[in-house]
Amino acid sequence: MAQNNFFMKKEKNKQPRDPLGEASYTAKDIYVLEGLEPVRKRPGMYIGSTGVDGLHHLIWEVFDNSMDEAMAGHAKNIAITLLPKNFIRVIDDGRGIPVDVHKQTKKSALETVLTTLHAGGKFGSDAYKISGGLHGVGVSVVNALSASLTATICRDGIEHEQRYARGIPQGPVKKIGKCEGSGTAILFAADPQIFEKIEFDLPKILAHIRQQAYLTRAIKITIIDARGEDTGKGGVALEHSYSFYFEGGIASYVNYLNRNEAPKHEHVFYCSKEVEAGSDRKIFVEAALQYTDDLQGHEVAFANNIYNGEGGTHLTGFRTALTRALNDHARKNDYLKKDDDALTGDDVREGLTAVISVKIQNSTLQFEGQTKSKLGNPEARTAVESVVSEALKEWLEQYPRDAEAIIGRAILAQKARKAAKAARETVLRKGILEGLMLPGKLADCQSKKPEESELFIVEGDSAGGSAKQGRDRRYQAILPLRGKILNVERARLDKMLTSKEVKALIIALGTAIGDEFDEKKLRYHRIIIATDADVDGAHIRTLLMTLFYRYFPSLIEHGYLYIAMPPLYRVQARKNIRYVYSDEEKDRTVVEFQKILADAKNQRGKKGKVVEEEAEEAENEAGEGGASGETETAVKTGMVKGIEIQRYKGLGEMNPSQLWETTMDPAARTMRQVNIADGAAADNIFNILMGDEVLPRKKFIQTHAKAVKNLDI
């Protein structure tokens, strides 16, 4: 469109109005946010969210500054303390943030760093050649989102302090005395005006800090939980302290990740080297690996101590080097005879635990996207590939028994892959021949639109019969499973596909599996596991979740998997009926219903003879009433006069209308959506609960046995 036509004249007095009714749009409508205002206006842009992850991100940003001092070789100790009233203190023995006047801002360097976005020593100077964090944004963002923050600096024997409230200085930097050594201490309290809930999670903090401690060897990091409430006598509860210090670095990290697995070889492979990556640029490469009996692979990649969940060029370089080195060694030692028998990447990654870490100069560090979940530096691939190829070749020659165990495992995986491919083709071919790829036991829905369709996976024919009668057949499909499916944590894909129940589920989903998996072909966007509320039901639910986590993880990531929450009890007192979901809720409901029955007694004579007769009936039903010890005992045994308590042990005990009302009706049901908050933690839990090693599972059961509720023995 020509410019003259684009800027056409508009008729007078007929200016278009926006949906909110604002008639003008002039210079006065343009707002300029200064200082830290953008952070408080849009905190999610800087820390991701104002929920639990964003809250903990404040700790990570302050901690990253201390770790940058450690990576630069200036700090050896870092301490994080959780204090009462949600205060957090992070202290290190680094050089200390400068306090002299900054020539550009005319303020102290400390105030400049704490109040100016993109200000710090990680941009133009050589103070930090390698760093993580937000590269100068971090600590100023923490200041902006804290109700209060106090920075204490020790430099040149003098201790300095400056205080802030919601990012605003409460005075200049002050000298408060003498000090020994050097370092920085940041004390802050997250702002309740910004965050939905302020509650710091110690296990979450420990997991993150432990990981960081492995990545920077020989740095001592201490976490102190001193949040104990005041005893009223001036004291507080005892502190809990945790310290991390790893001389082995990422080799120790591999041992930690494999703590619940049986290793296939004795020695952990480790290599490290700094290589040239262009004119005046270097990349420091570290890699460590070990194989276990686990059927899954676990690769963890970092760039400048930042976790890259989606991998990137450094992970690609590592995989290329690993596959080539193992194939070369296998052919050299006659483990492989033909070129077409070459081990693939999938073969060599089965059972692999690997950690890859690169450190790149800040000026050249590249990530794909704002989340930094994928490294984009092409030179990182070349650097990692060359370092790992050379080191792994030597290591395989040095430890021939370890090499034989690793290659033997990979060849076994290769054979299983070929068998699984044949089995997959058989499943798909058989599914097509059976007609529309649908198993006979599936009661499908009428809708062909995945976004409005849902699949209930139920336990047994009895529950399947009730669900089929109670469902809305327009959009609800039912797939009954007979018995417990195969534990896929302990079985390869070829064996898994011999299970009739697993095959029926795969065909019903429509996505296929393994190399042929295609999420776009998913037939239902709500996959609901509906098992009985007993031990067997919980076991079947766990087996199904293991299947989805190991072979259909993207369905969980995109929110397609749910757990149905059927009621445990049906409580009825005359015409009052309520479904309850726990023993505690049942007890409260019984007491409430007793009160209703007792209140009816007090209505005698107020509304005539009919009311009196009803009250007498209620009195007879209620008995003595009240919440005495005798009544509490009756509630626990399920026998309360005037109140009927029905315990559901299985969905098959419900008639179709009850199943619809409680578990299947979208307007009334309760479901839990399955998600993966922490992939590494989830992987470890599945290994413990469903893997071959008995001892870790025994310890887990002993640790958590007392927390089990509604145990059906």
- Kindly list the catalytic residues: 459, 532, 534, 536
Side chain identity at residue 51, one-letter code? G
Q: What's the CA angle centered on 120, arms 115 and 122, to 5 degrees?
A: 155
What type of residue is 35?
A: G
CB 180 within 8 A of CB 654: no
Query: DSSP letter string over 370-437?
Result: TT--SB--HHHHHHHHHHHHHHHHHHHHH-HHHHHHHHHHHHHHHHHHHHHHHHHHHHHHHHHHTSTT
8 Å CB contact between 112 and 34: no
Query: Under 8 Å CB-to-CB from 588, ≥6 apart: which residues?
Result: none
* Cβ atoms of residues 343 and 406 within 8 Å: no
Question: Could you tell me which of 566, 571, 577, 589 has the C-alpha nearest to residue 710?
Answer: 566
Pairing of strands 561-564, 526-530: parallel
Q: How far apart are CA 626 and CA 593, in angstroms?
A: 10
Element (H, E) at 306: strand 306-307
Q: Are 312 and 374 in contact (CB under 8 A)?
A: yes
Q: What is the DSSP letter of 691?
A: S
Element (H, E) at 612: helix 609-622
Nearest to 315 by CA among 249, 241, 375, 373: 375
Tokens of 696: 């870790």
| 144 touches 39 (CB < 8 A) | yes
- Residues in a beta bridge with 527: 455, 561
Residues paired with 287 in a beta bridge: 271, 356
Residues 355 and 257: their CA atoms lie apart, in Å, by: 10
In terms of Cα–Cα distance, which of 322, 346, 354, 349 is closest to 257?
Answer: 354
In the Cβ-directed half-sphere of 506, how many Cα atoms lie within 13 Å?
29
Check if the beta carbon of residue 361 is closer than 8 Å to that of residue 383. no
Task: Label each residue of 112-178 as H, E or C.
Answer: HHHHCCCCCCCCCCCCCCCCCCCCCCHHHHHHHCEEEEEEEEEECCEEEEEEEECCEECCCCEEEEE
Residues 35-41: contacts with CB under 8 Å, at least 24 apart: 35/115, 35/116, 35/167, 36/115, 36/117, 36/140, 36/141, 36/143, 36/144, 36/167, 38/117, 39/117, 39/140, 39/141, 39/144, 39/145, 39/167, 40/144, 40/145, 40/166, 40/167, 40/194
The secondary element (H helix, E strand) that includes residue 272 is: strand 269-276
Cα–Cα distance between 507 and 488 in angstroms, integer?
A: 17
Rounded Cα distance, 92 and 153, in Å: 10
Structural tokens at position 27: 């210079």
CB under 8 Å to 592, separation ≥6 — which residues? none
Alpha-carbon distance of 48 to 661, in angstroms, equals 39
Q: Check if the beta carbon of residue 416 is closer than 8 Å to that of residue 422.
A: no
- Give the N- to C-terminal CA distance of the chain in Å, as an integer: 77
CB contact at 8 A, 59 and 190: no
Q: What are phi and psi of 582, to 5 degrees?
A: -155, 165
Give CA separation, 370 vs 364, 373, 376, in Å: 16, 8, 12
